[in-house]
């Protein structure tokens, strides 16, 4: 069983805060050997002389320079350790050198239900945006030793850093980060929303050689890392279509022509061509409108087989030569002019193979904020207002996801070919879900970003027609992965598209919808 050192910064806390934390250490199922309190010699002395803590065998000090062979648990002063937290950590420390978990947050009033923050698995892109891992981290001694090697003041200084800064430094040097899906600590209601530090992220980018412009959104406490483009790779925009005509923003248009024309006219990234894959029965007027919209950029590929979206995309890819492929439905429209730059810059990270934007309906409700598998694949927060921040600001931060809807997604061509393209066993549904899971199996990351936006004019009231063969195929092929989405949490409610805990009560709904929930839920 592991030995534990608890580390708390005391520079901005009261004696009562420290006492509450100290009492929780005494009731822990595994009692720590040391409690390092850094940042206030006065508070340290008071705690050392408190009668309850004097009687314990916990050594309270500010002089511990290195962790020896003990697991180090960073615990914010004022927070209290869950009784079995150290037991959960002890069970995982042999396999994982840095761990975090869920947390419970006090009632806003005595009549309110407590809130629980249910966190996803490790998401490095999201950690750059905000400290979503929370205020408790458990680190193996090797991780701590590496993190403090060039830090003046060592462990004591690490304890007093901003929590976002400390998290970034520790996760930079760990090799097997892990989320424990249990409540590990209790905190106040105001600590439910992740915090962020612009300085910490800028320093992190310097240490990890990420060339980016960082900026902070103070309203939702999140940092945007805008990577500088070092190249202008060519994109082939693949638009499968049958030349459908619809009413868009009060105007009758050929959908594919509108999609292509607006992309050419509005995008600030212009290094792309267009591959339009047209059904053989596409009306001649629509065909001409599509060709006119694309001009010299367009290449028309005819498709004369029964409808199969996956096959049409694959055909378009075969007929293209660009480094990047933008899969784009014919009922889309670019919103943010720099959307392509944003997506391309994400793919400059060699570990990322696919990136996708926030998709919005015509009325600006969310169409997709990335996939969530719980276990039925669903577009996260589909149908909700785009003004929502979502649980722990999930809708406002760039993050890893298990998949992205193929209506608008940018993919590295070499990975698309490596994985064999979209699987034709899924002609209508789940081809993008299947592709995302293949990509994860191959070791690549998928990133969704709210900083690039497109319209997707798909009908909000349309019920998706599920073909029995597709449902059977996705279940047979990916049953285990669908049941255990790493960017989900086992304590969240199944079969819904919001980040809601699986308990009854209005509190859970409000937590799922975020800071604007009291208005949105009325």
CA-closest candidate to residue 449, choices 409, 486, 481: 409
Query: Which CATH number, 3.40.50.450, 3.90.550.10, 3.40.50.1820, 3.40.50.2300, labels domain 235-513?
Result: 3.90.550.10
Whether CATH 3.40.50.1170 fits 4-197: no
Q: What stretch(es) of the chain map to CATH 3.90.550.10? A: 4-197, 235-513
Q: What average pLDDT score do residues 144-170 get? A: 93
Q: How far apart are CA 368 and CA 374, in angstroms?
A: 15
Query: String of b and e for 351-384 (b: at least 16 CB within 10 Å)?
Result: ebbbbbbbbbbbeebbbbbbbbbbbbbbbbbbeb
Structure tokens at 343: 């997506």
Q: How far apart are CA 423 and CA 313, in angstroms?
A: 10
Q: How far apart are CA 239 and CA 339, in angstroms?
A: 17
Q: Answer whether residue 86 shows pLDDT above 60.
A: yes
106 confidence band (pLDDT: 50, 70, 90): confident
Percent of the chain whose predicted confidence (pLDDT) is above 90: 77
Q: Answer whether residue 167 shows pLDDT above 90.
A: yes
CA-closest candidate to residue 90, choices 102, 75, 77, 73: 73
Angle at 210 between CA 209 and CA 216, to 5 degrees: 135
**Range with the poorest average pLDDT among 148-162, 164-178, 335-349, 388-402:** 148-162
Q: What average pLDDT score do residues 482-491 get? A: 93
pLDDT tens digits along 243-287? 999 999 889 999 999 999 999 999 999 999 999 999 999 999 999
What pLDDT is stored for residue 367 in this prediction? 96
**Could you please report the per-residue DSSP string of 420-450?**
TSS-TT-SSSSHHHHHHHHHHHTT-EEEEEE
Which backbone phi and psi does 315 adopt, to 5 degrees? -65, -45
What pLDDT is stored for residue 465 in this prediction? 67
> Is the peptide bond prior to 427 cis by the omega test (within 30 degrees of 0)?
no
Q: How far apart are CA 278 and CA 283, in angstroms?
A: 10
What pLDDT is stored for residue 49 in this prediction? 85
CA-closest candidate to residue 377, choices 304, 478, 308: 478
Cβ partners under 8 Å of residue 188, min gap 6 = 78, 105, 106
pLDDT tens digits along 407-420? 999 999 999 999 99
CB neighbour class for 491 (10 Å; exposed up to 12, middle 13-18, buried from 19):
middle
113 confidence band (pLDDT: 50, 70, 90): confident
Q: How far apart are CA 66 and CA 475, in angstroms?
A: 49
SS3 104: strand
pTM for this model (two decimals): 0.93
Residue 209, Cβ neighbours under 10 Å: how many?
A: 6
């Amino acid at each position: 069983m592991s030995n534990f050192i608890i580390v708390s910064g005391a520079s901005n806390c009261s004696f009562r805060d420290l006492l509450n934390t100290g009492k929780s250490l005494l009731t822990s199922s595994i009692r720590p050997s040391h409690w390092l309190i850094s940042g206030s010699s006065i508070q340290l002395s008071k705690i050392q002389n408190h009668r309850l803590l004097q009687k314990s065998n916990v050594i309270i000090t500010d002089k511990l320079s290195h962790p020896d062979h003990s697991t180090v648990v960073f615990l914010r002063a004022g927070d209290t350790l869950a009784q079995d937290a150290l037991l959960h950590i002890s069970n995982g420390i042999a396999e994982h050198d840095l761990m975090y978990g869920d947390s419970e947050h006090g009632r806003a009033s005595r009549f309110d239900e407590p809130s629980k923050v249910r966190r996803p698995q490790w998401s490095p892109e999201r950690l750059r945006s905000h400290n979503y891992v929370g205020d408790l981290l458990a680190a193996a001694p090797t991780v701590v030793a590496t993190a403090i090697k060039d830090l003046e003041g060592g462990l004591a200084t690490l304890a007093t850093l901003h929590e976002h800064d400390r998290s970034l430094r520790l996760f930079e040097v760990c090799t097997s980060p892990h989320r424990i899906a249990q409540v590990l600590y209790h905190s106040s209601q105001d600590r439910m929303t992740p915090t962020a530090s612009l300085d910490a992220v800028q320093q992190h980018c310097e240490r990890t050689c990420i060339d980016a412009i960082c900026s902070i959104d103070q309203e939702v406490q999140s940092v945007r890392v805008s990577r500088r483009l070092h190249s202008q790779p060519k994109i082939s925009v693949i638009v499968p279509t049958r030349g459908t005509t619809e009413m868009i923003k009060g105007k009758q248009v050929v959908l594919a022509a509108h999609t292509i024309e607006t992309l050419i006219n509005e995008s600030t990234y212009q290094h792309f061509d267009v591959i339009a894959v047209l059904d053989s029965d596409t009306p001649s007027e629509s065909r001409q409108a599509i060709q006119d919209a694309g001009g010299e950029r367009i290449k028309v590929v005819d498709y004369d087989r029964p409808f199969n979206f996956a096959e049409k995309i694959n055909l378009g890819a075969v007929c293209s030569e660009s480094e990047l492929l933008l899969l784009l439905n014919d009922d889309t429209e670019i919103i943010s002019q720099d959307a392509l730059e944003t997506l391309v810059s994400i793919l400059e990270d060699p570990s990322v193979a696919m990136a996708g934007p926030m998709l919005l309906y015509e009325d600006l409700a969310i169409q997709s904020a990335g996939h969530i598998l719980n276990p039925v694949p669903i577009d996260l927060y589909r149908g909700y207002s785009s003004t929502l921040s979502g649980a722990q600001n999930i809708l406002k931060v760039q993050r890893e996801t298990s998949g992205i809807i193929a209506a608008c997604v940018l993919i590295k061509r070499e990975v698309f070919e490596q994985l064999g393209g979209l699987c034709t066993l899924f002609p209508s549904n789940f081809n993008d879900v299947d592709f995302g899971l293949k990509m994860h199996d191959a070791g690549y990351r998928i990133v969704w970003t709210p900083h690039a936006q497109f319209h997707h004019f798909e009908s909000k009231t349309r019920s998706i027609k599920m073909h029995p063969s597709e449902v059977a195929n996705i279940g047979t092929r990916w049953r285990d992965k669908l049941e255990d989405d790493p960017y989900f949490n086992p304590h969240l409610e199944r079969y819904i598209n919001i980040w809601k805990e699986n308990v009854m009560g209005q509190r859970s709904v409000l937590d799922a919808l975020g800071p604007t929930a009291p208005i949105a839920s009325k």
